[in-house]
Amino acid sequence: RAGLLQHLAGSEHRRETARFWRENKVEAELREGFLVSAEEYERFASAVEREVAAYQQREEERIRQMAADIREAERRQRETVQAAFQLQPEPEVGRGPSASSPHTTLGRDSCQDTEQPGPSRIQTAPDFAWMELGQALTFIGHQGAEGKGNIHTGARPPWLTEEEEEEEEEDGSKQQIGPSYEEFL
């Protein structure tokens, strides 16, 4: 609790201030502005204690409210996950996409198509339903000219293609871009 106001209300400060006033001949009406009475200090200290207690109570209530909000969010998340697992039908052997029930479309449950309140839906495993329907992807190779593009498509780096361009210019097989120097002047 030691602080500036406690020092100003103390007897040592009062004694040293009185000595300073005598030595420097300070006017009497200015003296009271430099001292804090013990009653004022006690009133201040009790007000500070009340405010600190009120602040601590508000903080504890805020923490309790945050904890309740977190518990509620976790409860809603658990309910959403449980509801998602309960809505997923068990795949039956021998049933194809043409024999799907009206509640499922292409192996997906209706829960995925509509937005549900609460936390986002958690997908625990990848959805491989599209692979079961015979819609596999086929790689048909890189499309584009050989030697053009980037290094991942087999193209030559720019510093190697400039040499080829210089060789083509010497042969005269490559046309100049833009006007010649004589045409420009």
pLDDT for residue 5: 80
Question: What are the tens digits of pLDDT across the range 43-102?
Answer: 988 999 999 999 999 999 999 999 999 999 999 999 999 988 887 665 555 554 444 444
Q: What are φ and ψ of residue 108, in 5° steps?
A: -115, 145
For the chain, percent of residues with pLDDT exceeding 90: 19
Tell which phi-psi region holds residue 180, choosing left (phi > 0), alpha (psi between -120 and 50) or beta. Answer: beta
Written as six digits, the tokens of 3 are 């602080």
More confident residue, 145 or 185: 185
What is the pTM assigned to this prediction?
A: 0.37
CA distance 6 to 38: 9
Q: Helix H segments across 25-157? A: 28-31, 38-87, 110-113, 129-132
More confident residue, 105 or 19: 19
Banded model confidence at residue 136, pLDDT cuts 50, 70, 90: low
Tell me the pLDDT of the chain averaged across its residues.
Answer: 73
Question: What are the tens digits of pLDDT across the range 7-26?
Answer: 888 888 888 888 888 888 87
Kindly tell me the burial class for residue 9, based on how many C-beta atoms sit within 10 Å of its own C-beta (0-12, 13-18, 19 or more): buried
Kindly report which listed range (79-83, 118-122, 154-158) carries the lowest average pLDDT score.
118-122
> Is the sign of the CA dihedral 98, 104, 105, 109 positive or negative?
negative
pLDDT for residue 26: 79
More confident residue, 180 or 116: 180
pLDDT for residue 79: 94
Residue 103, pLDDT above cutoff 50: no
- Residue pair 36/8 in contact (Cβ under 8 Å)? The answer is yes
- Residue pair 31/19 in contact (Cβ under 8 Å)? The answer is no
- Residue pair 91/106 in contact (Cβ under 8 Å)? The answer is no
- Residue pair 28/22 in contact (Cβ under 8 Å)? The answer is no
